[in-house]
Amino acid sequence: KKHVGIVCVQGAFIEHKHALDALGCTCIEIRNRSDITSDIDALVLPGGESTAQSRLLHDLRLFDTLKERIEQGMPTLATCAGLILLAKTIDGTGDLQGLNESAANKRLAVEGFQTLNVCVQRNAYGRQLSSFHTQLYCARAGRELPATFIRAPRITSCGAHVEVLMQYNESAVAVQQDNQIACTFHPELDSDLFFHKTLISL
Ligand code: GLN
């Protein structure tokens, strides 16, 4: 039985637990450093608010241990804000464009893991009302997969070793780099468990 650690400091983590429970995994909810046990086989970084998540990961002193695990190759599935936390570069102010620069920079301070070789723009499709649902073809899956975008980031460029698994309007929306899989949308909100199955297979 696989043990999957789900980072549960903020955001849409419970849906990931439901998906992984359905696949017969044992889920470990990570809220404290002592939750990151040695029997964890894989990690999930859920969607939510990347600024809040980044702050909490540092305040709760989870950040260094998680970064170490990811760098050591622990299979990791990151969705939306989780992808922002993995991204090497975070670009632009997204929905904070109305704020003056120093206020925007302060609220923007996402100090992420920088382990995934992509550049990402936060809130690239606009505010909550611009959230949308669609179906996108995934060659690896051999079929269309549902994709729910909620205040989603946009991957503006992919670097070395990044394989594009799905695209929307010519931007990568699902990528894999070694053991890191990341989506700008929320696969945990739809019933197709392709990404959770892929995580377990790693
Ligand atoms: N807009 C959020 C952020 O920038 C991400 C939204 C999500 O995870 N659904 O962190």
- Is ipTM strictly over 0.90? yes
Measure the CA–CA gap between 159 and 166, rounded to whole angstroms.
Answer: 16
Nearest atom within ligand 1 for CA of residue 81:
8
Residue 188 is a catalytic residue: yes
Largest CA distance in the chain: 50
Q: What is the pLDDT of residue 104?
A: 55
Beta-strand relationship, 180-183 and 171-177:
antiparallel
Q: CA nearest 145: which of 165, 161, 129?
A: 165
- Give long-range contacts, CB 8 A cutoff, 24+ apart: 23-30: 23/193, 23/196, 23/197, 23/200, 25/1, 25/200, 26/1, 26/2, 27/3, 28/3, 28/4, 30/5, 30/6, 30/62, 30/66
Q: What is the pLDDT of residue 21?
A: 98
Residue 25 is a catalytic residue: no
Q: Whose CA is nearest to atom 9 of ligand 1?
A: 150
Q: For ligand 1, is residue 91 a contact (CB within 6 Å)? A: no
Q: For ligand 1, is residue 80 a contact (CB within 6 Å)? A: yes
Average pLDDT, the chain: 93
pLDDT 10s digits, 12-39: 999 999 999 999 999 999 999 999 999 9
Q: What is the pLDDT of residue 137?
A: 98
Residue 186 is a catalytic residue: yes
Fold that domain 3-201 belongs to in CATH: Rossmann fold (3.40.50)
Kindly list the domain boundaries of the chain, sorted by start residue.
3-201
Q: Which of 8, 80, 138, 183 is catalytic?
A: 80
Nearest atom within ligand 1 for CA of residue 84:
10
Extract the runs of DSSP E, i.e. beta strands, from the chain: 3-7, 26-30, 42-45, 76-79, 87-91, 116-121, 132-138, 143-149, 154-158, 163-168, 171-177, 180-183
Q: Block means of pLDDT (10 residues each) for the chain, length 202 residues?
A: 97 97 98 96 97 97 98 98 97 56 62 97 82 96 97 96 97 98 98 98 97
Ordered DSSP codes for 69-99: HHHTT--EEEETHHHHHHEEEEES-GGGTTS
Q: Are 125 and 171 in contact (CB under 8 A)?
A: no
